[in-house]
Structure 1
């Protein structure tokens, strides 16, 4: 049973974006594995607190990520 884990910084994506992400990732997995795997494949979105994720030793906030994305 495949499990796809998506980890995000909290506050960057809204509920609609996370639902779309979940659906599109599931569709991608089914495209690879076949439709029979849809019922046993899990996609999990986990959010890390803003400031709780670091790259290159610099903690990232939701505002930092949004600025990088031009939002």
Structure 2
């Protein structure tokens, strides 16, 4: 029974992206570890763990919610992306 944990910065993935990620990782585990058996699906646990931006560092720099929103777009309280990033 696999347990997969995906760690990410809060504010990068919206609800639809999380749903897609959970489904596709599950599909991949069924294909690889479960050798394609549909019965294996019910044994696959996938979790997305989100931490505050202040808990992360990339190249020695901590992202801020403003940097994340400017890069990925804003996410509303319902988990739906409400604004796309300006390119």
Q: TM-score, normalised by structure 2?
A: 0.66
Segments of structure 1 that go 5 or more residues without pairing to the other structure are: none
Choose between structure 1 and 2: higher strand proportion.
1
User: Paired residues, what number?
Assistant: 69
Bigger Cα Rg: 2
RMSD over aligned CA atoms reads 2.0
Task: State the alpha-carbon separation in 1 of the partners of residues 8 and 70 from structure 2.
Answer: 12
Choose between structure 1 and 2: higher helix proportion.
1
Q: TM-score, normalised by structure 1?
A: 0.79
Moved over 4 A (4+): none
RCO higher in 1 or 2 (8 Å CA, sep ≥ 6)?
A: 1
Segments of structure 2 that go 5 or more residues without pairing to the other structure are: 73-84
Number of the residue aligned with 1:26:
26
